[in-house]
A and B are shown apart, each in its own frame.
Chain A
Amino acid sequence: MSGGKMLRHIQFWILAVLGTVLLTGCGSEYLVLNPKGPVAETQYNLIIISTILVAVIIVPVIALTAFIVYRYRDTPGNKATYKPEWAHSTTLEVIWWIIPIVIVALLGYFTVRDIYLLKENPNKEVAPMTIQVTALDWKWMFTYPEQNIATVNHLEIPAGVPIRFQVSADAPMNSFWVPELGGQIYAMAGMATELYLQADEPGTFAGFSSNFSGEGFAKMQFNVVAKPKEEFDNWVKEVKGTTPAMTKADYEELRKPGVTDKFTYSAFPEGMFEEIVAKYGHGHDMDYVMEKLPAPAGDKSSNETSQNTQQKTESHNMPGMNHSSMNH
């Protein structure tokens, strides 16, 4: 049996188990368990693998608990052995130090492999398209630098094309999450985080704000609509022809705390996203932001190395600091 096939096989059983546990099986409302793109797929597989590995512990332990509690209950006439001084066995203890170590080692292997994997473009054959995401109070703004259009509270993407999201905020921290396409990333003021997602097929996917940001937070949900490439291009053309352009004043209006409808704009002020990111940085820090943001498509490797060298020269031991734009 090939590795893939075996995994599929195991998946089947785990689904069966999960189905029982979750009462209603994996209906389409179980977004995380219905991956619609390569990133979510990778994560889904990890969820399955880790579920199996922890089940290897959980199931026997619970069974053993039930057995021991029943067998050694204190009732008259219980014939089970009673050894009140038996309190040590090197063999046994070595065994149960080793079992979790082995499981953690296995799980650690898969985890680390995919951590590195997900930092990269999930689809090497297609050049990624960039979309910039800005979390505002309490709405999502999406700007398309390649198409020079913008949307608010809804996101349209081409299916089959990896999207490179650059995520920032002009408001308290939030988190950008489209479960069917893949896991989330924080949206933070003064820096741009990066997330690759791809929808394999056309469809509509629910998107969520997933880090609490105040009063209107629960209303920050949006839909992601994936369309075939041509349809997407047509949509862009339509947007260009029929909707107004976003001005600086429009943006300032959007920035004000409040919940709004969906909007679509045929253009947005040039370099607006970079400005939003740089607004909370200053001086020389801006170069870094500028240098990092409009990374040419396909030039991923050089970007990666600069990231790595930066990591090595970092003197701080606090994670999350190294990509901050204020940190030189």
Chain B
Amino acid sequence: MSSPRHRLAPARGRTGADTPVKAACEVLGRRRQGPYWVLSFAAREIAERARPGQFVEIAVDAPHSLLRRPFSIAGVSRQGVAAGTVDVVFDAHGPGTAWLSTVATHDVLDIVGPLGTPFPLPQRKVNCLLIGGGYGSAPLFYLGEKLVAQGLRVDMIVGAATEDRILGTIEAKRLSATVTFTTDDGSYGTRGRVTDVLADTVAATGAGVVYACGPNPMLRAVSEGCVELGVPVQVAVEELMGCGIGACFTCVMPLRGRDGEVTMRRTCIEGPVFNGARIAWDETRVRLGPTVEDEPDEPPARPTDAELWGER
């Protein structure tokens, strides 16, 4: 990666603090990873302050787009030649992300971060099960590195709709003691949802904590599954955000307090990482959706020549 060609304005914000900054960041590279994009940019202050589970807000120059777009931090480098870089992974599914999938190396992006709460790290020795859905696996690899560095056992369940939408097959295998892959259509790993293998995996790995990131219906299913199993669960949720900085109150999730009372908490500042058992999922619009088991498991019986072509 080359060094910046132009001198950029220094990041704005407080110095040496556990606070977010607003920075002009040079794009270092953009590459395909399956159906997703990986974007790397130079952001020294963000890289130094970031922790797994946090996100950045990137200003986009797409037609009619006013608001920044939030992206979970997939990794940072603090040392070596790539020091001060931050990676995000995204799916180009709207005008903002479509625009971001066209930025070139050396372009300058306006980025605010790191934002939100990080995944809490265990205070004692415990086996950790990380569950990712689609590109939601991205921040889990970053988290997994920290957990492994702490000397903890990490196992993973990585799921997606189809094989090509599984993110980071190699990273998952490298990082974890065991990996279970699931796809809705059975094109890779076990056919089904991540929750179909949850109980067995928890039993097999002796997991004492579950961390999950992915679509909200998956997080709901994982949270409810973990509550049933009695395993603590931390989830990084996805909510529509206006500002990402705690000002607009758009991205709320209902959280049940110890007193049983439900309050609306901002995903951007009180999350995105929440105790999955505390989310009042029944008061959200997050639905579990049809399960794969509803479909026939066996392929239909093969027709005979006679059935296919008639008597000839």
Q: A and B, one complex?
A: no
Task: Name A's B-contacting residues (CB within 8 A).
Answer: none
Task: Name B's A-contacting residues (CB within 8 A).
Answer: none
